[in-house]
Amino acid sequence: MSQSPRRFELRLSIPADPTYRVVATGFAVKVAEYLGCAEERASQIGTALERTVNQVIDGASADAHVEVTLEATPGALTIRARNGPHRAETTCPLAE
């Protein structure tokens, strides 16, 4: 059975330091654009990634890393963030 070329999973490990969060946010925006989102919707998905990561970094040490997963399924992009035992997940519809 063949899979849709738009179904995939991307995993990133980023430092918890907010300086590096822009990299993951940029990836989320580009993934959303690749999946066919308009610029405004893609930007909203980038913001959703930032909120999701913020949920798991409270109290994180300076050398901590956040594991971020972007999983595209038909019609949605799921964002997962993990920092040690702290986990958060957000699912964003690709169309408004």
Q: Residue ranges of the domains in the chain?
A: 8-93
47 vs 1, residue with greater confidence: 47
Residue 80, token pair as written in the block: 């997962």
Cα(17)–Cα(20) distance, integer angstroms: 6
How confident is the model over 31-76, as pLDDT tens digits? 999 899 999 999 999 999 999 999 998 878 878 999 999 999 888 9
Task: Tell whether the torsion through CA atoms of 59, 12, 23 and 44 is positive or negative.
Answer: negative
Residue 14, token pair as written in the block: 């980023």
Phi-psi region of 36 (alpha: psi -120 to 50; beta: other; left: phi over 0): left
Q: What is the CATH number of domain 8-93?
A: 3.30.565.10
16 confidence band (pLDDT: 50, 70, 90): confident
**Residue 41 main-chain phi, psi, to 5 deg:** -65, -40
